[in-house]
Amino acid sequence: MDVSQAIRMKRAVREFTDDPIPEQLLTAVVNAGRRAQSAKNRQAWHFIIAQDREVLVELSQLGQFAKQLAGAAAAIVILTPDPAERWSIMFDAGQAAAYMQLAAWELGIGSCPVSIYEPDRARELLGFPPKFHVRAVLSLGYPKDPSSLTASPHAGGRKTLSEVISYDRWGS
């Protein structure tokens, strides 16, 4: 595996087998998030690893597109300060999430970011302190379809380079 291959091939995986993820692999994934850069090196995040089936099922009810969490082997709940405090908070969280997804991919573990629409219910469920907030969770597990980790990028799956790049000035 090299970094560019991982970036090219990692797809959102939403269907998982029942196999648990060994503890040391889960730790390795979170460790990759811990190593992410952050504005002013604040590292103002905290990660809750959820594996309890009841907790996963409850989490799956806290977002409109969160159902996959009910069948995940684990979830990593990404806690941050209030995102309204500064723009960099979700930028930092996004980078930690991306690092964790790439580390998971390298270990053969599928993942997908899941948006939390009901953060207050998440707080009740997980009991984290007021200074933390949650907007995103990663679902994790061994993919039901193993080829989903290594399948070629699907046509039209990403905008083309010319659609997203300008040189020196907008549109040129």
Ligand X SMILES: Cc1cc2nc3c(=O)[nH]c(=O)nc-3n(C[C@H](O)[C@H](O)[C@H](O)COP(=O)(O)O)c2cc1C
Residues in contact with ligand X by CB under 6 A are 11-12, 14, 63, 65-66, 68, 112-115, 136, 157
**CB nearer ligand X, residue 155 or residue 166:** 155
Separation CA 165–CA 4 (nearest Å): 19
C-alpha 151, offset from chain centre: 19
**CB nearer ligand X, residue 68 or residue 80:** 68
- E strands, the chain, are 46-50, 74-80, 110-115, 133-141
**CB nearer ligand X, residue 130 or residue 157:** 157
Residues in the chain: 172
Long-range contact pairs involving 31-34 (C-beta distance under 8 Å, separation at least 24):
31/103, 32/99, 32/100, 32/102, 32/103, 33/76, 33/78, 33/96, 33/97, 33/99, 33/100, 33/103, 34/96
Shortest Å, Cβ 79 to ligand X: 15
Shortest Å, Cβ 73 to ligand X: 16
Shortest Å, Cβ 101 to ligand X: 9
**CB nearer ligand X, residue 81 or residue 83:** 83
Shortest Å, Cβ 97 to ligand X: 7
**CB nearer ligand X, residue 53 or residue 158:** 158
Shortest Å, Cβ 50 to ligand X: 16
